[in-house]
Chain A
Amino acid sequence: MPVGRDSRAKYLVAVPQTVAQQDLSKLVAGINLWDATEAAAKYISGQSPEDFSSQRRFSFCILPSQVGRDWLGSLIRLNCDTFVECFPELDLEDLAPLVGKKSLPKHDLLVCLSTRSAYHLPVARKFVTSLRHRGLIGDGVASSVEMAVQEAFANSLIHGNLELATGGHLSMDRFKELGEETERRLASRHHGARAIILTARRRKNGQVVITINDQGNGFSPPDANATAPISRKDTTFGRGLPLIRSLCHSVNFLRDGRTIELTFDDSQSTTALGDTAFLNDLETRLTTSPDALRIAQNATILIADDTLLSREIIASYLRADGFTNLVFAKDGEDAIAQIKTHNPDLIILDIIMPKLDGYAVCKAVRADPAYAKTPIIAQTALEENEGRTRIFDDGATDLILKPLNKAELIARTKIHLENRLLVQQLQAYQARTQSELELARNMQENLNPTPEHYRGVGMDYGMRISATFQMSSELGGDMWGLVPIDAHRLGVYIVDFAGHGLGAALNTFRLHSLIWSEQVDDQTPDVYLQRLNRHLKGLLPVGQYATMLYGIVDRQNNTFAYASAACTSPVLGNTATGEARYLDGSGVPLGVIRDARYETREVPFDRDSFLLLYSDALIETTLDNGQFLCEAGLLKMLQDTVLEGGRDIDLAAQIADQFMDRAPAKLDDDFTIVSLQAANIPSAG
């Protein structure tokens, strides 16, 4: 097993356990992952992507040769931008600079796979899910991006790396031949071992650029305007290009057609004033930390007006009332410059000005997050409604009519400064709360068993245990755990507190300490839940409750006995046939009534059994088809996954990966999923 060479390792590398050290060394030496002079890499190995903490930052993730769905899932699970499959024939040729450290341009995500692995995997889907989770594209555009990437990827793979010609009329015989030729070429070293690289990066202007690079012979892209309709006789194979063009902002071919570059506009990040030069300046603004404004009279006020007399009148009114920190601007561009230099607490802005009018200044100021909350009082002689509404649309806080009335000017100035004072205090408070929430999140995540722990415990009982936990955007109330009872019996629980936020998180801490202070021993699940409920009822305020399942897998008697407090219905299935069914999850939630009674239910759990426990986020999240994952849908997903992957897979992780492909990047509720499968590991007992 590779071990760290240097405790001051500059590069943290995630490595699958199955990758041999010599292959790894060859890969690392061969493709110039980092400068040889800084060969300070630390390798961390894992059995599956589940084993790598999401809180660690990895420089590289090595994927095993013949990547499967499990390792493809690392694109979402690992905090890493570069994923490279380690296969013996890997020869990147002119693709190397893409992967290497000195690569230009820099990427936000890069995936390098062999053709033979990539062919059988839903690469486009996982790539796009990964872009969503990294915030590079919004959920709304994901479907279009996926379609375009899928077509481009298929083209690069089939026409590029495999050099298959699919044009013209495709008869059934020809289709059969093509299928057989595909298999032959995938198996061959020449074609199957060619690399394909997908990269994505986000430009400063918000556009996302995706490239797909192959090692084929290249091709001359057809004329962009040739959009012949699909003939009734010709196949749609290789007809993807017009479709790609219709889905992207622009399409380019590089490296003689061996690289296709797709550019997408993310509608969420387009600004209205794209072409003005000063906007870019604003973007790379001076990060002047706003000095806390304590007294309104200490405020810095910018007076932007093109006539000297107007500026002097306003200044004299303000000075008379004790405001002395005044700065001036004589036109719109000057105003922007003064704002960047002084970061004023208030802006008094004339609308009609040379170079840049008040509307444009307002828009520019609001486009920069640093000044999004700075109050702007627009002064105008305009009487007509159109101009007055427009200036508010462009971001002004208030409006004052010329000629100025001194009392009115002072009153409005004071009101907006006091508001700003309050907003600043609130922001400081929020920042503090945020950092404390961060701490609470870490604490909550640590309530759940680590991969090493649950894998080890699973081995002790002849089971393969897999789990995935993703916290919602706020704090949540999910928790799960394992309770070894004796050599043959393993207890397992899953908890979901109602709601999320600090309250729910605190309750999970309460319950966690209760669970671990209680001696489980020989209590049956119903008695255990009854006692837990009584304790919890005393601790929880009225209206707060939890759902929970506690069960015991008995490997000697081949049973699973459990009691449920309104938990989601667990699924019991057969690894050999893929058949699965829901178990009864009914029962009174914890913390509702003091003397709740629970029922222990027992089902067979033998050497072919698997068990799936999950929180309701799995079945109550709106997926990309606008619907929840239905009961039958989950069973079908389990069956397909088990039949495809066999018994030696991390079932919960694979279900979670499929769920993440279709769920929004940010979940509203905690997501927990745990699977226990009887495995071919001899039981310790």
Chain B
Amino acid sequence: MNYKTDFANGTTTVEVTGRFTFGDHSSFRKLIEEVRGHGSSTLVLDISGVDFIDSAGLGMLLLARDEGEKSNTNVILRGAQGQVKRMLEVARFDTLFQLEN
């Protein structure tokens, strides 16, 4: 998993690409720490470039949501496609996150 963050007008956008699976915990932790420093009111996780996610990856998305709740940050998942979209549907993430196309 690779990511690129962008911070503008109180919104942090993170472009996540590649496979997002159990082995990505350290990159994900770095991501969260980086975003924490921004103090944004909205965090957009652009996952359109993620081509595969497993249940551990979903777990990390939930962590991002928990973090958001603590700091009053609205977490949005944007652009899920293919297998990722299917996984979000199976796990009923529409009830947990704001999903955008």
Contacts and interface: CB of A to CB of B under 8 A. Distances in A.
A147 B83 contact: yes
Contacts of B60: 175
A198 to B, nearest CB: 16
A236 B19 contact: no
By secondary structure, the A interface counts as helix
Interface in A602-641: 624-625, 636, 640
Given A236-B59, A624-B82, A640-B2, A150 B54 contact: yes
Closest 4 CB pairs of A and B: A236-B59, A236-B58, A179-B25, A235-B59
B84 to A, nearest CB: 10
Given A179-B26, A230-B92, A243-B90, A170 B52 contact: no
B83 A143 contact: yes
A237 interface: yes
Most buried by A among B19, B23, B92, B96: B23
Given A147-B83, A182-B25, A624-B82, A237 B90 contact: no
Interface in B4-31: 17-19, 21-23, 25-26, 29
Contacts of A157: 22
A236 B51 contact: no
Interface string A228-244: 01101001111110010
A323 to B, nearest CB: 59
30 contacts: A119-B23, A122-B19, A125-B19, A125-B52, A147-B87, A150-B21, A150-B52, A154-B55, A158-B22, A171-B66, A172-B32, A175-B25, A175-B29, A175-B60, A176-B29, A179-B29, A183-B26, A230-B92, A235-B59, A235-B62, A235-B63, A236-B56, A236-B58, A236-B62, A237-B55, A239-B55, A240-B55, A625-B82, A636-B17, A640-B2
Interface residues of B, number: 32
Contacts of B26: 179, 183
B55 to A, nearest CB: 4
A151 B55 contact: yes
Given A147-B83, A236-B58, A170 B63 contact: yes
Interface string A507-518: 000000000000
Contacts of A640: 2, 17-18
Contact of A237 (B56, B91, B96): B56
B51 to A, nearest CB: 7
Interface string B43-87: 000000001101110111011001100000000000001110011
Given A172-B63, A625-B81, A230 B91 contact: yes
Contacts of A662: 51
Interface in A147-163: 147, 150-151, 154, 157-158
A240 B91 CA distance: 10
A157 B22 CA distance: 10
A232 B59 contact: no
Interface in A225-267: 229-230, 232, 235-240, 243, 246
Interface string A114-149: 000001101001000000000000000001001100
A279 interface: no
Given A236-B56, A640-B2, A175 B63 contact: yes
